[in-house]
Amino acid sequence: MAAVLAGRRVRFDSGCGVRIRSWCPRWLRSCAVHRLREGVVVVEDRRKRRSRRQLREAFLSLVLERGYAAITVEDITERADLGRATFYTHYADKDALLDHIVTELIEEMQRRLDPVFGVTEQGFTGKAVLELFRHAAEEHDAYRVVLRGEGDGRALRRFVEDRSAAAIRAFAARSEAQAVEPRVDVGILARAWVGELLTNLSWWLESGSPMSAEEVTGQLFDVSTRGRYWASGFDGEPPARA
């Protein structure tokens, strides 16, 4: 196999071990090796991404069909049409694959929420809730697997803890920026908020509700800003706590 660089013919074998003729200048030999290695890295990265994507899709579809406990690595590789060796190149076992999926969800969700949570000069806007529902719509199967508690609930616990911690930080920063004192412990407030959101998100994904993300989050915004007493249809001030 051969390539032409700057008018010079460069020979290399099919395994990308470079053999450059002695009459090539040193700078050209160095450049050729560098560029060829770059090409090999790009090809390998694409193959790895494709393999991980196939394994991810196969895993999620199988878990939704049979449940996490019922599937094996062999099932995943057969569905993905890949060898066991390819699976173990990327993951130690199916637990590691599930952990990787949760990590991806958390990192991408946080990346999308950072600009929203960064607006500390505003009060509650509902934008973060809408962004969560939009992300879940894009990653429909991954969210369903996590929110169902597959894998002995480990993935769900991790997701809830991470989102609760992020909410605590955001609520505390927003209160400080606006110089207000929360009337409820920020930890309780954040966990109640996350629990409410994830319960409704799970229902929305599993039920096939015709309501759009905007419609659901709009109603959740009303509950958050106007209260459950108002949302339940009552007028006036809510009764005093017993």
pLDDT number for residue 16:
45
> Which H or E element spans position 18?
strand 18-19
pLDDT number for residue 55:
97
pLDDT number for residue 43:
57
pLDDT number for residue 175:
87
| Averaged pLDDT, groups of 10, the chain, 242 residues long | 45 44 48 50 74 96 97 97 95 97 94 73 76 95 97 95 92 87 93 94 95 94 88 87 76
The pTM is what?
0.77
- Number of residues written out for the chain: 242
pLDDT number for residue 113:
84
Comparing CA positions, the residue from 69, 33, 77 lying closest to residue 52 is 77
Residue 167 contacts residue 190 (beta carbons within 8 Å) = yes
pLDDT number for residue 240:
82
Q: Tokens standing for 15?
A: 């395994």
